[in-house]
Chain A
Amino acid sequence: MRDRLSRRGFLGLTAGAALLAGCGTGTATTSSGSPGGGSGGRLRAVFAGGGATEVLDPHLANLFNEAARAKALYDKLADLGPDVSPQPRLAEKWEPNADFTVWRITLRQAHFHDGRPVRARDVLASYARIADPGRTFRAKSSLALIDLPGSRAVGDRTVEFRLKRPFAEFPNVLAAFGTYIVPEGTTDFSEPVGSGPFSFVSWKPGSSVLLKRNPDHWDGAPYIEELEFLIANEESARINALLGGQVEYAHDLSPASARQYEGRVTVVRAPNSAMQAFAMKTDRAPFDDRDLREALFLLTDRQQLVDAVMPGAGQIGNDLFGKGYLHYAEDIPQRTFDLDRAKALIRKAGAEGLTVELTTSTAAAGFVEAATVFAGQLRAAGLKAVIASGSKDTYWADILTKGSIASFRSGAMPIETHIAQRLLSASTTNATRWARPEFDALYETAVSARDAADREAAYLKMQQMLHAEGGLLVWGFADWIVATSPKVSGVQAAPANTLDWARFDKVRLG
């Protein structure tokens, strides 16, 4: 049998490598409440999933249900807090050297489900597995800057990571999506053994995973006795199952369902979760013209888009990723609708009557609706808008190279990660083809300057550039919506991929 390779599809709405944007240094410790006995009971949670071809290997986690299960069974060294900044998890603290090239990580006292302690060697082995050049694990690129042969275990509970270049945001890497710590030498994940708040009981591929409370979890034992993950790809089936009492937690609901059933079920909305945008390619006609890009920023009626696509479950955006996250440029004024200036800029760019082909697909909820509304706004400004609907299965690969403007969205990740993956000359998933040497240099400053003020200034400068003439027209941020039965409490309104999202160890039943 072929080794399991794979990574599967879209994280629903989010594009998700979640890392986090840290302040660099930091020796924080988490609060670890340790509830005594659990309130008991089985919580059944339904997610969309990959069907019979799903996997339990946490390093292959790609879909939300896989990420949620991985988080229940395993721990990472760090994870993302409410503002998408790195919070220590298995790492008790991290200390860089002066130039951010060597990081000393102290592990907390934790145990795997089979009783073995979590050691520095397990951390190095897990990272080596993810970074294996022969494999294609999702987090491989996140770990690429670690010089693994040069890194070492100092005793059982200290890891010394040597980096290939200075990187002040290294804790983001420790929290990167899929960087779970597994026991050294693990190759078979059919009965997973981790250090997480729940341990494995049974698995029926494509339908259910049953876990039970880990009474010895370092961050306090869960309140619930058992946790069952179920799969339903249709949103209507998830809300129906909740209404019919077949589950207690339904993940990823539409704004329409949330409004319709609020009251019968408890709706939890996490703001600033999914960025909604149109990606303009800055390296080709017509959007290589900065005036035309600015015209599009100005002709966008953001509130109309929010009201049409996510009524009551979103906010307008300011053409910048990461609203409310660490390093976000709050002080750049909100761009407002200005049709006259937009028309003047279109004239200046010589683009009156230009045909714009807007690429979209059903790859994410609301894409086609948003594209339809936006096409109307383009027409109102004197452009001809044509909607080109593509294959949902291959959408993200298609828009990377093809077309000139496309529907785009992203889940939560640190702003640093967003820039590194999508906006540098060497970024491999740069859908706007934004490539500026001076921008690349600012990024270098942001992640390696010794003075925190210099780093913060570089973040601001980059965002000013993107706001003025970038290729990403960020019109809104959708809430992340989950719903629970009224007897469930303790569900946090946290963006998907952050620590408090799908955190079933802190949930109570009854």
Chain B
Amino acid sequence: MNLTRYAARRLAVGAVQVAAVTGLVFLMTEALPGDAAVVLAGDQPDPARIAQIRAELGLDRPLAERFTAWAAGMARGDFGASLVSGRPVAEIVLDALAPTAVLAGLTLLLLIPLSVLLGVAAALREGGRLDRALTAAGAALYAVPEFALAIVLVAVFGVALAWLPPTGLGGLTAATLVLPVTVLLVRPVCSTGRLIRSTMIDVLAAPYVRHARRLGLGRFAHALPNALAPAVQHLARTADWLLGGVIVVEAVFVIPGLGSALADAVGQRDLPVLQGLALLFAATTVLVNLLADVAAFRLAPRA
């Protein structure tokens, strides 16, 4: 298939998906009990005051009108302002994007060489001691949820031994990144490594690799690209998952990223911020998956 046409069609579908997600998020937030005015009034829920806050925020307008206004703003590139602080949504989202991008980027960057290394090492000696040790350790670690691992690592390395800072308070530095990135890495390394191991074993046994080997060519260089193609799609799913995993990790390590912003926005019913974040999450998912498919196509063009 023509790659450009394929990508263009996927992008168009993606745009529809993103629009659908923001619409859904809007409706789902509406369905939550209470609105930003009630949340803002907090422990001073004087009904007259709530009504006035609601009017000031424009929350007393009909749902369709508010959604249309938001969509019209979007079309002009205006993401609106937070109901709670009045700060522009674009600013809030961009501020929160930086720490999350650092976390997710670093995790992906380390994930690829680590899982390839472990997967290939295990595959080359299939059934050997290293393979069995890696498989067992991988299965065990994969079963530990992020928050549990995070709490244990903080208690041990942050508090008891005091080798590393227990939280990201005061800004992200190399030292504060160690624990959160470790937590984010563990499960994807286990799953990606295992995937690479099994495809590598299949590919190594394939006739063309055996043929290359008979001809005295490196089996490795021929096998790896084919073994990586399924792994790339798996990486795309991992990138999506990272956005979710980041919410937990950001909460435990106090990192003011997208996950924290999302949790705050839901708690405060801050619809414009929530919409901005939903838009970013949806667009990222669509783009990452598209890139993965294109990359897989390039690695193994037979599809």
Contact = CB atoms under 8 A, between A and B. Distances in A.
B269 interface: yes
Nearest to B91: A205
A1 B264 contact: no
Contact of B44 (A135, A138, A241, A393): A138
B254 A6 contact: no
Contact of B264 (A16, A53, A208): A53
Interface of A: 1-11, 14-17, 44, 46, 50-55, 62, 135-136, 138, 140-141, 204-208, 228, 230-234, 236-237, 240-241, 243-247, 391, 393-394, 396-398, 400, 428-429
Given A232-B169, A240-B158, A11 B43 contact: yes
19 contacts: A5-B56, A5-B83, A5-B86, A50-B264, A51-B261, A52-B96, A52-B273, A53-B87, A53-B268, A136-B49, A206-B260, A233-B254, A236-B252, A243-B162, A243-B166, A247-B169, A393-B39, A394-B38, A396-B45
A9 B36 CA distance: 10
A2 B251 contact: no
Contacts of B88: 1
Main secondary structure of the interface of A (DSSP, over half): loop
B82 A393 contact: no
A44 B165 CA distance: 15
Contacts of B112: none
A367 to B, nearest CB: 13
A243 B154 CA distance: 11
B268 A50 contact: yes
A83 B56 CA distance: 38
Contact of B166 (A6, A7, A241, A429): A241
B60 to A, nearest CB: 14
B191 interface: no
B127 interface: no
- Sorting the interface of chain B by its residue count into under 10, 10 to 19, 20 to 34 or 35 or more gives 35 or more
B57 to A, nearest CB: 7
Nearest to A399: B45
A9 B40 contact: yes
A149 to B, nearest CB: 21
B44 A391 contact: no
Shortest 3 CB-CB distances between A and B: which pairs? A394-B34, A51-B264, A4-B86
Contacts, number: 191
B39 A9 contact: yes
Contact of A2 (B86, B171, B265): B86
A53 B274 CA distance: 12
Interface of B: 32-34, 38-50, 52-53, 56-57, 81-88, 92, 95-96, 151, 154, 158-159, 162, 165-167, 169-171, 251-254, 256, 260-261, 263-265, 267-270, 273
Contact of B33 (A46, A54, A391): A391
Contact of A428 (B48, B95, B256): B48
Candidate in B45, B158, B162, B170 with the most chain A CB atoms within 10 angstroms: B45
Nearest to B267: A393
Contact of B154 (A11, A240, A396): A240
Given A5-B86, A237-B254, A393-B34, A52 B92 contact: yes
A363 B86 CA distance: 25
A5 B38 contact: no
B87 A237 contact: no
A228 B53 CA distance: 31
A88 to B, nearest CB: 26
Given A5-B86, A244-B165, A244-B167, A141 B260 contact: no
B170 A44 contact: yes
Contacts of B83: 2, 5-6
Contact of A206 (B43, B56, B95): B95
A396 B43 contact: yes
Contacts of A236: 151, 252
A140 B49 CA distance: 10
A53 B251 contact: no
Contacts of A53: 82, 84-85, 87, 92, 264-265, 268, 270, 273
Given A3-B86, A54-B85, A393-B34, A62 B167 contact: no
B34 A206 contact: no
Contacts of B86: 1-6, 55
A10 B43 contact: yes
A240 B81 CA distance: 34
Contacts of A6: 40, 53, 83-86
